[in-house]
Amino acid sequence: MSKTSIALIGAGLIGRTHIDRITRSSNLQLAAIADPTEAGKALAGSLGVPWFADHRSMLDAVKPQGAVVATPNQTHISVAVDCLERGVAALVEKPVADTVAEAQVLVDAQTRTGVPVLVGHHRRHNPINRRAREIVASGRLGRLVAANVMATFLKPDPYFDVAWRRQKGGGPILINLIHEVDMLRFLMGEIVSVQSIASNAVRGFEVEDTAAAVLRFANGALGTVLLSDTATSPWCWDFCAGEQDQYPRQNVQSHFISGTHGSLSLPDLELWNYRGERSWHAEMTQEKTFVHKADPYTWQLQHFRDVIEGREAPLCGALDGLRTLQATLAVHDAAVSGQSVNLAA
């Protein structure tokens, strides 16, 4: 079996996560690392792959089939466009950009070049979420009416030793909530308006430490999200889904989706409905679906391979990444302004 050559641009924490999965894969090959730091150079040397300080030089010299763009957020678009213009498919880490206007540049470049883009919202590749999407699409929940998300956790004090994490843009709305927004879009459909409120009462930093948002979906359903990175709490996806071993797994649920004919909790995939009379006086039935645990980063890279070779369309393309970013920024803007934010179609 021929291996698909993947280059890594940006060898920070998430970049190294991708490297780990690529080097353990039987059908992917790490082609090169582009990273201007000495640490990036040393990593490439330890793996026996070419190292480049500049990603353009790497793309021109190595000509990989795909590239993972794991650079700082503000450089995502320029680096990804450089890839597309050279015919190299790009897996761009989330958030796709800092602004919607920048994200539109990538959407336009993808349209112009025809080279595929996959945005790294990895939760979409978790088999739990894929099965949840199938259940919703099957109509077993009926018409969707509501969703409730808990994303409450405690970041340790040393996390904030880095200055930008205490400053505008470094708070949990843009860093963490974007995962919840994309997951809800994946399961519930498009978000058309947002209301929210935020607080920095606990730490007193420039950025928020707690936020609550109300989302309206195009299908008429409403969603609520409670977010805090200063709460001693187990109710968040990272703790209960078991995606990353660095977090102790908790036997709790974090996401709840309700419809006219059934409701679904996640990540346990418990489905509640009425088998007979639909009434609050009637007994409800509980069903549970078990899926095999799988690493979403591994599945994402395998999907990226299929996208590169034309077997699948991107599960989260450039336009999807833009819309998730737009809705997340709307939560921030609504909290600042105190006004509801309507999203463009």
Would residue 92 count as lying in a domain? yes
- Position 345 pLDDT exceeds 70: no
**Under a CB-based contact definition with an 8 Å cutoff, are residues 223 and 147 in contact?**
yes
Least confidently predicted of 32-41, 168-177, 202-211, 326-335: 168-177
Sequential DSSP letters for 44-104: HHHHT--EESSHHHHHHHH--SEEEE-S-GGGHHHHHHHHHHTT-EEEEESSS-SSHHHHH
Would residue 313 count as lying in a domain? no
Name the pLDDT band for 1 (thresholds 50, 70, 90): low
Would residue 319 count as lying in a domain? no
15 and 111 share one domain: yes
- Position 246 pLDDT exceeds 90: no
- Position 307 pLDDT exceeds 70: yes
157 and 56 share one domain: no
- How many Cβ atoms from other residues are within 10 Å of residue 69's Cβ? 27
Average pLDDT over residues 15-41: 97
Average pLDDT over residues 326-337: 96
pLDDT computed for residue 294 by the predictor:
87
From 115, 144, 160, the end of a domain falls on 115
**2: enclosing H helix or E strand:** none
- Position 54 pLDDT exceeds 90: yes
Name the pLDDT band for 239 (thresholds 50, 70, 90): very high
95 and 216 share one domain: no
Domain span at residue 84?
4-115
Q: Measured between alpha carbons, how far is 328 from 168 in angstroms, rounded to an integer?
A: 14
Would residue 31 count as lying in a domain? yes
Name the pLDDT band for 62 (thresholds 50, 70, 90): very high
- Position 301 pLDDT exceeds 70: yes
Torsion of CA 138, 139, 143, 144, to 10 degrees: -40
- Position 250 pLDDT exceeds 70: yes
CATH of the domain at 182: 3.30.360.10
Q: Which residue has the higher pLDDT, 213 or 162?
A: 213
209 and 151 share one domain: yes
The per-residue pLDDT for range 132-161, each reduced to its tens digit, is 999 999 999 999 999 999 999 999 999 999
SS3 of 132, please? helix
143 and 246 share one domain: yes
CATH of the domain at 91: 3.40.50.720
Would residue 155 count as lying in a domain? yes
Q: Measured between alpha carbons, how far is 41 from 229 in angstroms, rounded to an integer?
A: 34
214 and 336 share one domain: yes
**337: enclosing H helix or E strand:** helix 318-337
From 47, 82, 115, the end of a domain falls on 115
Average pLDDT over residues 27-50: 97
141 and 69 share one domain: no
183 and 50 share one domain: no
104 and 133 share one domain: no
- Position 120 pLDDT exceeds 70: yes
From 115, 146, 173, the end of a domain falls on 115
- Position 268 pLDDT exceeds 90: yes
130 and 224 share one domain: yes
Q: Using alpha carbons, list the distances in angstroms from residue 147 to 99, 189, 259.
A: 27, 12, 9
pLDDT computed for residue 15 by the predictor:
95
pTM of the model: 0.95
pLDDT computed for residue 292 by the predictor:
82
